[in-house]
């Protein structure tokens, strides 16, 4: 059973599809007001419409986590509409696979900018809100979506794995600064989850490989992963599910 999230205000990055979309829906269903961030405004508008029609509260905010001005404008928009935030889900990410010899520094840079610097930028944007909420006696959560790729190795995804290892390590380090101030840091490492993530690969051979692995072991639905996240942020505030690896049972 879930404690409800009524009265809480969440931000979910990468809410235009996949895990982020499912997380936004489930947080809203449990009573949180949810700011939806991503670059595709139409997707966000549709999602906000769906949540609102279901009796929830959602705000679509077009934002690119790789852009300072865009994130600052998003913060302002959210503060105007909802006030301070107490639940931040750092979910926006890209996964681009290629052998390291291909030397795709363009892809490496995109992954680092989005998966690492983007996460840091969003943390910077909302740290003040989280610390203030916790000081006020309210539950405050920072949730980072890393990946099992932070630990398990996959050929041709070295740089993606490195960005996710950075996220997991960052979560660990942040707890030393945030934990004593009652801001909970939850690091979630999903295995295969059904989403658009692998469709952005421009190497057809690699895409087939991933499809093959996925077919062999299956994948969690985005909703199943969102359910795990909703559970973690619904615990009493002194209980921190710090590290969660959520994988299909058959994934090795
Ligand atoms: P999706 O591709 O469906 O979702 C990624 C989301 O991030 C999209 O909504 C996208 O929206 C958004 N996004 C990408 N770049 C930016 C940006 N610069 N600024 C703002 N938003 C951005 O894939 P998933 O749902 O699978 O991915 C979500 C997270 O889960 C990622 O961090 C991924 O690494 C992680 N993950 C996924 C796994 C899986 O098997 N699916 C396994 C382990 C981890 P838009 O393009 O509109 O900006």
Is 112:216 a contact under the CB 8 Å cutoff? no
* DSSP assigned state of 220: B
Which range has the worst mean pLDDT, 6-10, 119-123, 199-203, 245-249?
199-203
Mean pLDDT of 141-154: 97
Give the count of beta carbons closer than 10 Å to the beta carbon of residue 205.
9
Percent of the chain with pLDDT over 70: 99
Which two tokens mark 146? 């890393």
Which range has the worst mean pLDDT, 17-21, 160-164, 171-175, 207-211?
207-211
DSSP string computed for 201-252: ---HHHHHHHHHHHHHH--B-HHHHHHHHHHHHTS-TT----EEEE--TT--
Q: Write the pLDDT tens digit of every residue in 181-233.
A: 999 999 999 999 999 998 888 888 888 888 888 889 999 999 999 999 999 99
- Nearest to residue 183, comparing CAs of 130, 236, 146, 235? 130
Question: Cα 37 to the chain's mean position, in Å?
Answer: 11
Predicted confidence (pLDDT) at residue 21 exceeds the cutoff of 70: yes
Mean pLDDT of 54-78: 98
98 lines ligand 1 (CB under 6 A): no
Q: Residue 36: which H helix or E strand, with range?
A: strand 33-38
pTM for the whole structure: 0.98
Question: Cα 138 to the chain's mean position, in Å?
Answer: 22
Distance CA 18, CA 208 (A): 20
The pLDDT of residue 151 is: 95
* DSSP assigned state of 193: B
| Mean pLDDT of the residues in the chain | 96
Q: Write the pLDDT tens digit of every residue in 68-116.
A: 999 999 999 999 999 999 999 999 999 999 999 999 999 999 999 999 9
- Nearest to residue 127, comparing CAs of 81, 166, 75? 75
Give the confidence band of 1 by pLDDT, cuts at 50, 70, 90: very low
160 classed as catalytic: yes
Complex ipTM value: 0.99
17 lines ligand 1 (CB under 6 A): yes
Q: Which of 2, 82, 157, 160 is catalytic?
A: 160
Which residue among 18, 121, 168 has the greatest number of ligand 1 atoms within 8 angstroms of its CB, and so is best to mutate? 18
Is 93:14 a contact under the CB 8 Å cutoff? yes
Is 33:48 a contact under the CB 8 Å cutoff? no
Domains and CATH numbers, the chain: 9-246 (3.40.50.720)
Q: Beta strand 140-145 with 87-90: parallel, antiparallel or unpaired? A: parallel
Atom of ligand 1 nearest to the CA of 193: 40
């Amino acid at each position: 059973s879930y404690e409800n999230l009524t009265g809480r205000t969440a931000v979910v990055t990468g809410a235009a599809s996949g895990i982020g979309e499912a997380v936004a829906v489930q947080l809203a269903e449990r009573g949180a007001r949810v700011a939806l961030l991503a670059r595709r405004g139409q997707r966000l508008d549709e999602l906000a419409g769906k949540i609102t029609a279901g009796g929830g509260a959602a705000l679509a905010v077009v934002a690119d986590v790789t852009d300072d001005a865009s994130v600052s404008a998003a913060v302002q928009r959210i503060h105007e509409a909802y006030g301070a935030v107490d639940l931040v889900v750092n979910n926006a990410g890209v996964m681009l696979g290629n052998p390291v010899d291909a030397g795709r520094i363009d892809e490496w840079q995109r992954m680092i900018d989005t998966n690492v610097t983007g996460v840091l930028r969003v943390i910077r944007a909302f740290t003040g809100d989280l610390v203030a909420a916790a000081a006020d006696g309210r539950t405050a959560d920072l949730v980072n979506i890393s990946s099992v790729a932070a630990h398990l190795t996959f050929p041709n995804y070295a740089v993606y794995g490195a960005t996710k290892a950075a996220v997991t390590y960052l979560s660990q380090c942040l707890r030393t600064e945030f934990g004593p101030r009652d801001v909970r840091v939850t690091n979630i490492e999903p295995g295969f989850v059904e989403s658009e993530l692998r469709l952005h690969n421009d190497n057809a051979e690699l895409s087939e490989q991933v499809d093959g692995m996925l077919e062999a072991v299956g994948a969690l639905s985005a909703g199943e992963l969102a359910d795990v996240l909703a559970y973690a942020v619904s615990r009493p505030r002194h209980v921190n599910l710090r590290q969660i690896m959520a994988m299909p049972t058959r994934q090795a």
